């Protein structure tokens, strides 16, 4: 098991997973299904090593999995995209919290400022950012359990990686993304209720 775990951090295809990159996923990325298959192959091999079922291990699967991971580098781009979206959500939420509802939508006065703010929210958040974040969430819901199987609580895993992959943890990638988006949307719900305008 030691050598398999060492491979998770020494093979460039796997080591890149947790390194910072400038690559992010676009709205139609390639390689998701190949990445899922590759990680499932590695998880299966890890389970076979744990159960000492060595006769069933096909070393060709390791090489084909690494080849697919290297070809698309989907994991690294996904993790970078999620980290960036969490930061953007948190920064946007901090910014909108500085806005004063009394200024945006004073009682018995014109709501023009509130309508402009609402249009910005609709155009950028609802039409562009929210669908992209939903896509990232979908990818993570599939991949997070595989990341957990491969990296969580291994003696070569750092506490930071453990936090990002631990299932059910509030600090794992999936929950960080969901909670940052939820906090942002909560402000907007309060905005629409206070200003008495429709989000659509």
15 pLDDT band (50/70/90 cuts)? low
The span from the CA of 32 to the CA of 51, in Å, is: 29
94 has a pLDDT exceeding 90: yes
pLDDT mean over 98-115: 85
Give domain limits for the chain.
2-195
Concatenated DSSP letters for 63-130? HHHHHHHHHH-HHHHHHHHHHHHHHHHHHHHHHHTTS-HHHHS-TTS--HHHHHHHHHIIIIIIIIIH
Tens digit of each residue's pLDDT (9 = 90 or more) over 114-153: 888 899 888 888 888 999 999 999 999 999 999 988 887 7
pTM of the model: 0.85
Tens digit of each residue's pLDDT (9 = 90 or more) over 45-66: 988 888 888 888 888 888 899 8
pLDDT at position 16, please? 67
Smallest CA-to-CA distance from 90 within 187, 197, 184, 191 is with 184
Tens digit of each residue's pLDDT (9 = 90 or more) over 60-89: 888 899 899 888 889 999 999 999 999 999
pLDDT at position 111, please? 82
pLDDT at position 167, please? 84
| pLDDT above 70 coverage of the chain, percent | 88
User: And the tokens for 151?
Assistant: 């990296």
- Between these two residues, 108 and 155, which has the higher pLDDT value? 108
CA 89-90-92 angle, to 5 degrees, is: 65
Smallest CA-to-CA distance from 190 within 100, 124, 109 is with 100
Asked if 162 and 152 touch (Cβ cutoff 8 Å), the reply is yes
Q: Which residues of 26-43 are buried (b: 16+ CB within 10 A; e: fewer)?
A: eeebebbebbbebbebbb
């Amino acid at each position: 098991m030691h050598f398999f775990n060492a491979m998770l951090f020494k093979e460039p295809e796997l080591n890149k997973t947790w390194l910072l990159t400038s690559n992010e996923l676009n709205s139609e990325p390639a390689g998701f299904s190949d990445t899922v298959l590759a990680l499932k192959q590695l998880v299966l091999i890890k389970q076979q090593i744990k159960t000492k079922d060595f006769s069933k291990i096909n070393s060709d699967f390791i090489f084909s999995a690494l080849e697919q991971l290297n070809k698309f580098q989907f994991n690294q781009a996904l993790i970078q995209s999620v980290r960036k979206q969490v930061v953007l959500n948190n920064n946007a939420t901090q910014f909108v919290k500085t806005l004063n509802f009394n200024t945006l939508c004073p009682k018995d006065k014109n709501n023009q400022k509130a309508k402009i703010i609402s249009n910005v929210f609709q155009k950028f958040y609802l039409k562009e950012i929210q669908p992209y974040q939903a896509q990232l969430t979908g990818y993570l819901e599939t991949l997070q359990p595989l990341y957990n199987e491969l990296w969580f609580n291994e003696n070569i895993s750092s506490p930071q990686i453990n936090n990002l992959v631990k299932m059910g943890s509030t600090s794992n990638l999936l929950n960080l993304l969901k909670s940052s988006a939820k906090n942002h949307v909560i402000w907007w719900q309060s905005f629409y209720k206070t200003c008495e305008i429709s989000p659509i």
